[in-house]
Amino acid sequence: MVLRMPGVMSAQVYQEEEQEPRVHVVAQAISTPRQMVRQVVSLLRNMGWTEVTPEMVTIVQIAPVDDGNQSGNRLKIFGYSLVRAGNALEGKCRLGRGTVVFEGREVGGIATDVLAEATVAAVNRALGGPILAFLDAQVITQSERLVVVAMIRFGKNELMTGSAIVHSVLEETVVRATLDAVNRRVVLYTGGKPD
């Protein structure tokens, strides 16, 4: 029955020789440990184990993976590169969700386009097919700051844009602007809820 309590991931009762039984519970941190101990004791007493006391219950809480903004579903930058390959540039972008990594690769002549296309290729791998198409990436000046603006097409008609301010590395900003255009849509496809 303890396993059916909200947030409980594991529960075990054990008894060492000549000691009273102990209840160990592993749970997500959705309530205070003291509150969870009271709930476990109350449940076990209602189930007939009237001798159980709070001192017999140990709670181990594990912080949830998701921090409330669906970060468990969002693609994150794991790495990127831009190198000269003969007369062209080769861009690679590695994105990850949890421990799964998706890599996109593109070759072309304009650095911003190559990295944005590699980012879209990595996102398409995460989505399982060519769902998104790169349209354009530009570096503009806004209020005396450099900003990268990326435009992506979803399906045949939906256009999505994203932007990011250049703080230090232009290449990373291109990847961030491209992800800004697609991340909310990607969350929907991975089962999360958009912000």
How does DSSP assign 120-155, residue by residue? Answer: HHHHHHHHTS--EEEEEEEEEEETTEEEEEEEEEET
Q: What is the pLDDT of residue 193?
A: 47
Q: Is the pLDDT of residue 127 over 50?
A: yes
Name the average pLDDT for the chain.
83
Say yes or no to pLDDT of 56 above 60: yes
**Domains by residue range for the chain, with CATH:** 2-62 (3.30.300.30), 76-188 (3.30.160.270)
The strand pairing partners of 96, in sequence order, are: 76, 101
> Binning pLDDT at 50, 70 and 90, where does residue 70 land?
very low
Do 106 and 84 touch, CB atoms closer than 8 A? no
Give the DSSP letter of residue 111: H
| Per-residue pLDDT, 121 | 96
Distances from the Cα of 34 to the Cα of 48, 74, 77, angstroms = 21, 33, 39
Q: Does 36 or 105 have the greater pLDDT score?
A: 105
Distance from the Cα of residue 171 to its chain's centroid? 22
Nearest Cα to 107, choosing from 127, 93, 123?
93
Q: State which amino acid sits at residue 3.
A: L
